[in-house]
Structure 1
């Protein structure tokens, strides 16, 4: 695996362990020489994981839509940045660039990205590994629901 797309929030949240586990993940990706693909932002968990991977010597590619770039949310120090028209194009480009996906604790945007790649795998458009970084059991209720929905 050469690249992994990270789905996570544009906010850091109030639980320090989410940030700590994101930084540990960044270190592990760099150690394994895996390129981090993500939403291109400089704020929140997104900014934290990207900045840490870069500081550790890793390669980080951001994919940011015009609407967020116009708000000056684009990370200025990335290895490469893909500028896209909208959030739909962002998901498409991130999916194309990535060999797999990891969802960290996040909000609606993170869930949107996660469900997009789950659906792509389900209909056979792709067959890429998808993982959840289940820090402090963040995804336990979602996993229960998905097991229920799969019956």
Structure 2
């Protein structure tokens, strides 16, 4: 095989590392156009890289923007939403496949089950809670999937500074700080996540967890 063909084959394999990515994001659009722009750009990047979307199932805010972008681009979209939130988070026509679950715990479990990696866009309490839990699962050894933070306009600067403070004060191991992969653009973030390899020591081996779905 010629060098150019080898490079092309290598690039194709790299782009196909992820078949499905779970995106945590707000059911509101936020106050800045840059937030909606980031959701649209991430959706386009997923389409271009032939990656399907798993998300929280809402059709409003950033959730609605990224789901419609990925779906209209010809990729599969799976939305997972608790039954109680259907009237609240879904307004208008739903996008792609929607799976209704009993509660928030089952929602997060199902989203994790179907994803090869995770990305958080800007969002509120729910987005941050989902992000922090999936980071903790990585630290514990429940999964080894990349966790990305799309830090649009410095939205997550304070959270990243808090993680650094945790390292400084002895609550987070330095290697575990690298669980989170952060970038300011969707393209840069996905490139970093494709190169991600865990550096931290797991609290317990994955085999000891009842987490076959992950």
TM-score (norm 2): 0.67
**Is 1:39 the counterpart of 2:56 in the alignment?**
yes
Alignment of 1:1-150 (within 5 A): 1-71=18-88, 73=90, 76-150=93-167
Deviation at 1:71, TM superposition (A): 4.0
Distance 1:125 1:75, change over 3 A: farther
SS at match of 2:74: coil
Structure 1 range deviating more: 56-65 or 24-33: 56-65
- Distance, in Å, in 2 between the alignment partners of 1:131 and 1:74 is 28
CA root-mean-square deviation: 1.4
Shift of 1:73: 1.1
Q: Alignment length, in residue pairs?
A: 151
Is this contact kept in 1: 2:80–2:110, CA < 8 A? Answer: yes
Give the drift of 1:75.
6.8
CA contact (8 A) 1:38 1:62 kept: yes
In the superposition, relative to structure 1, how do residues 28 and 72 fare at CA in structure 2: closer, same or farther (>3 Å)?
closer
Asked whether the 8 Å contact 1:47–1:75 carries over to 2, the reply is: no
Q: Which has the larger radius of gyration?
A: 2
**Offset at residue 51 of structure 1 (A):** 1.0
Deviations 1:33-78 (A, max 9, x none): 1111000011111011111211222221100110112447177443
Q: Please state how far the C-alpha of 1:91 moved relative to its aligned partner.
A: 0.6
Q: How many Å separate the matches in 2 of 1:72 and 1:32? A: 28
Answer whether contact 2:24 2:121 (CA < 8 A) is retained.
yes
> Which structure exhibits the higher relative contact order, with contacts defined as CA atoms closer than 8 Å and separated by 6 or more residues?
1
Greater mean deviation of Cα atoms: 39-48 or 73-82: 73-82
After superposition, the Cα gap between the structure-2 partners of 1:88 and 1:71, relative to the gap in structure 1 and judged at 3 Å, is same
Unaligned stretches of 5+ residues in structure 1: none
